[in-house]
Structure 1
Amino acid sequence: MTTVTSRQFNQDVSAAKRAAAHGPVVITDRSEPAFVLLTFEEYRRLTQGGMDDLLNRLRMSEDVDVEFTPARIDTKVPEF
């Protein structure tokens, strides 16, 4: 994944478009991710089917055993 600043993006949009042909381009604003540039084909692939499709992809249609051991967290309140 390529990252460019807003300034770099504004100065060379063509370079950002070329980079997006190989994967998402993150555009930062004040050092924080603000936007992502994708090819239209990648955008379509990600949004194809909408929310229902996403839920269907996350739903486990078979009875699958998944081992899960949650991490222990310290719930003690520090004394001052």
Structure 2
Amino acid sequence: MTTITSREFNRDVSAAKRAAEHGPVTITDHGRPSHVLLTAAEFARLSGALEAVGDRLWARDGIQIDLDLPARTVEPPRELDL
């Protein structure tokens, strides 16, 4: 893992971004780790944030997923108690 200081990061953000292509970059502030720079793809992989439930259910490669869902019912509205 690459480590750079906050000052180095501020001076050359592009170099930090290039380094993040090869793995996480730890940014230190006063000698202590304060931030970690990741590519967007790596962040999405780690967090799973970009994957929607529908993506998992989407039929891929001809595979069909059948879900037996209960029938939807609509109850009549309740009377208001004023």
Establish whether TM, by shorter chain, passes 0.5.
yes
Residue aligned with 1:22, SS: coil
**Runs of 5+ consecutive residues of structure 1 not aligned to the other structure:** 50-80
Residue correspondences, number? 49
Say if 2:46 is the partner of 1:46: yes
Q: What is aligned with 2:2?
A: 2
Write the mapping of 1:13-32 to structure 2, written as runs, cut at 5 A.
Answer: 13-32=13-32
Letter of the 2:5 counterpart: T
Q: Alignment RMSD, CA only?
A: 0.9
Cα distance in 2 for residues equivalent to 1:18 and 1:47: 21
**Runs of 5+ consecutive residues of structure 2 not aligned to the other structure:** 50-82
Is the helix fraction higher in 1 or 2? 1
Q: What is aligned with 2:37?
A: 37
Residue aligned with 2:23, SS: coil
Cα distance in 2 for residues equivalent to 1:18 and 1:44: 18
| Residues 34-76 of structure 1, C-alpha deviations (whole Å, 9 max, x = no match) | 0000000000000016xxxxxxxxxxxxxxxxxxxxxxxxxxx
User: Which 4+ residue blocks in structure 1 deviate beyond 3 angstroms?
Assistant: none
TM-score (norm 1): 0.60
